[in-house]
Amino acid sequence: MKKVFGVFRQDLQSIFKSKAAIVIIMGLCILPSLYAWINIRASWNPYANTGNLPIAVTNNDEGAFFNGREINVGNQIITDLKKNKSIHWIIIDSWQGNYGLNEGNYYALIEIPRDFSQKLVSLTTVTAQKPDIIYRVNEKLNAIASKISNAATQELADNIKRNFLATVTKEVLEALNPVAENLQTNKAKILQLKDTVTQASTNVEAIQGFIDKANSNSESLQGYLKSVQNTLPKINDQISSLQNATEANKSLVLSTKQSINNTAADLNNDLIQLEAINQQTQLLLSTLKETNAASNTGDLINIINQLSDPLNRAINLTDADIQSLEAINQSYPNSSLAQLINLLNGLKGLMNDEETKITALKGLLDNSSSKEAVSSALDQISALNQEIANDLVTITNDFYSADLKVFNNLEDNLTSSLDNIDAVLESTKVIVPQLNALANYGIASSELSVQEADDLSNKLSNLRNELNLLSGKLKDLNENNIDTLINLMKMNPGKVADFLSSPIDVKEIDIYNMGTFGVGLTPFYTVLAIWVGGLLSSSLLSVEHTRFEDAGKRSLTLIQKHFGKMMLFIVVSIIQAVIVTLGDKYILGVNPANMPLMIGFAILSGICFTTIIFTLVSIFGNVGKAIVVVMMVFQIAGSGGIYPIQTNPRIFGTLEPLWPFTYAIGGFREAIGGPIWGNVINYAAALLGFSVVFLCLAILKKPFHKVTEFVERKFRETGL
- Looking at residue 119, its pLDDT comes to 82
Supply the Cα-derived Rg of the chain in whole angstroms: 42
**Which long-range CB contacts under 8 A does 207-214 form with residues at least 24 apart?**
207/235, 207/460, 208/457, 208/460, 208/461, 208/464, 211/453, 211/456, 211/457, 211/460, 212/457, 214/453
First to last CA, the chain: 38
165/123 Cα distance (integer angstroms): 9
569/551 Cα distance (integer angstroms): 23
At 72, phi and psi to the nearest 5? -140, 95
Count of Cβ atoms closer than 10 Å to residue 211 Cβ: 20
Amino acid 192 reads: Q
Below-70 pLDDT ranges, the chain: 46-50, 123-124, 126, 141-201, 203-206, 208, 210-262, 293-298, 368-369, 404, 407, 410-454, 456-457, 460, 464, 467, 470-515, 545-554, 706, 712-720
540/537 Cα distance (integer angstroms): 5
- Looking at residue 437, its pLDDT comes to 66
Question: Which distant-in-sequence residues (6+ apart) come within 8 Å of 640 by Cβ?
Answer: 656, 662, 665
Class of 53-185+475-505 per CATH?
A: alpha beta
Question: What is the full DSSP assignment across 23-53?
Answer: HHHHHHHHHHHHHHHHHHHHTS-GGGGGGGS
User: CA angle, corner 431, sides to 426 and 433, nearest 5?
Assistant: 110
Q: Are 633 and 520 in contact (CB under 8 A)?
A: no
- The structure's pTM equals 0.50
- Looking at residue 440, its pLDDT comes to 63
- Looking at residue 528, its pLDDT comes to 92
CA 472 to chain centre: 46
Reduced to 3 states (helix: H, G, I; strand: E, B; else coil), residue 136 is: strand
Q: Are 608 and 664 in contact (CB under 8 A)?
A: yes
| Every domain range in the chain assigned CATH 3.40.1710 | 53-185+475-505
